[in-house]
Structure 1
Amino acid sequence: MKTVIMAGGMGTRIAAVNALVPKPMITILGKPILEYQIECLEKQGYTDIIIVIGYKGEQIQAYFRDGADFGVNIEYIVEQSPLGTAGALYILKNRIEEEFLLINGDIIFDIDIGRFVEHHRKKEGKATIFIHPNDHPFDSGIIKADMDGRVFQWLCKEDERKWYKNRVNAGLHILSPQILYEMRELKKMDMDRDILRQLIPQGLLYAYDSPEYVKDMGTPERLAEVEMDILSGKVKKKNLREKQRAVFLDRDGTINEYVGFLKHIDDFKLISGVEAAIRRINKSGYLAIVVTNQPVIARGEATIEELEEIHNKMETLLGRGGAYIDALYYCPHHPDKGYEGEREEYKVKCECRKPSPGLLLSAAKAYNIDMSRSWMIGDSDTDMEAGNAAGCKTAKIGKGEKYTDLLCCIQDILQ
């Protein structure tokens, strides 16, 4: 599979760091951003690379040359005038005949590319985009996808939004060559608006949701954060080929105020300090995963859609506080019968309802989690039993417990 790296941009927002080099050549710990990308590709066997260059592109060519010194083969496409984030792909029409990996040249990442490719091939769309949560979703484009991963809406920064799942486009894509064949002329084009979003009405754009490390270099502050993450080893450790550590979190009474069976979105309120606690988890490199029993579905007191909107509110509020969850698992079942409006299909005994460990074990399988190095945090004995059954360390919070709330718990166990 060929890899195309778009490295032609000027990087005006980050010019304060170094305006003398193109954005992908800005160094972190003495190494250009682009070199980190090539290292990640090479170690996984993606060695056939095309780099699209423009602004000060001769510096990229002089540094990497044909790629032999880096264990790869590099070709170059030179933009004679700025063609946006996608226009130069037109030049590839006769050079790429199979699906290819497309990467923004201003991101640091370390991901299991094979998982990404496998997901793309299963879906058989024209394009798959890598999506993930971030700590500033309020000023990012939001990707909405269904349970199968098919994208049905793409909210740009300027679009009106209220409650949403925190998932944004990370700048990694797999594209079918058919996209190239359909380009009619060489002109300036925007990848998101002119190509990817046009696939949504056709049902041909898919999303790959992963908690692995991808961060853009848009500002000096983010650049400094990435440097710290590289030094700490966080970037490499987040690759799903590595065993992960997770903090599993109960929802009601742990993240949001306990109101009994929460049925109405207006009743959902974050507990004070939760955003700070989950930010600590995010910074630590642990995955933050919510596991929650939601019998309101089986009892007929809320629909799946209403529950998902409540969870969207949770993610939106956390995002406003610079925090995010990597995944959420819920059990909709309830074995006891006799409720007015109950849904018979959910009135079953299952392996996912805590204290059974099914939710935690499903997450462990999906994200390669080492349960012996992970934590289950909640406010009930049921949570503790589920954590113990899954092989986690456990911490109970609440009045009369060692930890009164999530923040003090996280500050202690992750210090």
Structure 2
Amino acid sequence: MHAVILAGGKGTRLHPYTTCVPKPLVPIGSRYSILEILLTQLQYRGVETVTLAIGHMGGLVRAFIGDGSRFGLHVEYVSEDHPLGTVGPLLPVLDSLPEHFLMMNGDVLTDIDFADLYQVHGRSGAPLTVATYARQISSEFGVLDVEQGHIMAFREKPVLNFNVSMGVYALSRETLRRYEPGYPLGMDVLIYDLLAQNNRPATYPFSGYWLDIGRPEDYDRANAEFSELESRLLPRPQQVALTLLPEGAACAS
């Protein structure tokens, strides 16, 4: 399996933590960076090669991660000298990517099974599979449905249920073939285009742990929770190896 990690953003919403350090390298639990956790999880789940898309303070990312050998991975880099969006950094290196691959933001903490997402995508035949998470927004107010100056309906503090993108995806290389390298391409534009072509992306619903570290309060929460979550986010190798055995295979104790 191959994974692309997007690690080129400026992390402006996470200031002041990202003043001197790129967001994927901010420490979690005073022991690991977000990127270290992500690379370790990917290796545990069977990923062998990684493309790191870097931009802002990319030299620090490259110096810290190196060739990936200390994680048991082979890491290569693609650099952007101007913002290219979520998908744009992949286009210049598209021919070097396998037929199917994982892609994720470099600021996500989750215990999702990357191997299962990859396998589900490969079986689906979908151009893109988006890992999704159920969220709720509760209104603080009573909501009025108004039409031509009259109240047609009333809902007291309604709750809105919806699904959000986790920033974790599985992609097929040919999905991106029509786009020209060097120009920005966001995931929103890609999804709009696929819907317009009636080539619908698939979803991978997930209900485990997920935190997008985009704001200082998210970062504080990640650090507060990490001691309790460390065993879930960084499982022992032998635990993960058992999940990768083929169905019906036996393993020695």
Q: Taking structure 1 as reference, are residues 237 and 24 closer, same or farther at Cα in structure 2, changes over 3 Å only?
A: closer
Conservation of the 8 A alpha-carbon contact between 1:111 and 1:238: no
Q: What code does the residue aligned with 1:168 have?
A: V
Report matched runs for 1:14-413 at 5 Å.
Answer: 14-30=14-30, 31-134=32-135, 164-191=160-187, 193-201=188-196, 202-233=198-229, 236=232
What SS is found at the alignment partner of 1:121? helix
**8 A contact 2:91–2:176 mirrored in 1:** yes
Cα root mean square deviation, aligned: 2.3
Task: Provide Cα deviations, 1:69-89, integer angstroms capped at 9, x if missing partner.
Answer: 111110000112221222111
User: For the Cα contact (< 8 Å) 2:136–2:160, is it kept in 1?
Assistant: no
Distance 1:108 1:203, change over 3 A: same
- Give how far 1:134 is off: 3.8
Structure 2 stretches of 5 or more lacking a match?
A: 140-157, 240-253
Q: Distance in 2 between matches of 1:136 and 1:170?
A: 17
Per-residue displacement from partner, 1:199-249 (whole Å, max 9, x unpaired)? 22414301110112221111111111112222112771799xx9xxxxxxx
Relative contact order higher in (CA < 8 Å, ≥ 6 apart): 2
SS of the equivalent of 1:94 reads: helix
C-alpha contact 2:88 2:182 (8 A) present in aligned 1: yes
Instruction: Give 1:185 deviation, angstroms.
Output: 3.4
Q: State the distance in 2 between where 1:187 and 1:11 align.
A: 21
Instruction: After the TM superposition, list the runs of 4 or more consecutive aligned residues in structure 1 that deviate by more than 6 angstroms.
Output: none
**Normalization by structure 1: what TM-score?**
0.49
Q: Which amino acid aligns with 1:199?
A: L
Measured in 2, the distance between the counterparts of 1:190 and 1:56 equals 21
Sequence identity of aligned pairs in percent?
28
For residues 228 and 195 of structure 1, do their structure 2 counterparts lie closer, same or farther at Cα, with a shift above 3 Å needed? same
Per the normalisation by structure 2, the TM-score is 0.78
C-alpha separation in 2, matches of 1:10 and 1:137: 31
With over 3 angstroms needed to count, the CA separation of the structure-2 counterparts of 1:121 and 1:65, relative to structure 1, is: same
Q: Contact 1:137 / 1:167 at 8 angstroms: preserved in 2?
A: no
Q: Which amino acid aligns with 1:80?
A: D
Instruction: Tell me how far apart the structure 2 counterparts of residues 212 and 27 of structure 1 sit (CA, whole Å).
Output: 22
Give the aligned length. 216
Instruction: Report the structure number with the largest CA radius of gyration.
Output: 1
Distance 1:88 1:106, change over 3 A: same
Contact in 2 for aligned 1:110/1:235 (Cα 8 Å): no
Give the deviation of 1:196 after TM superposition.
Answer: 2.1
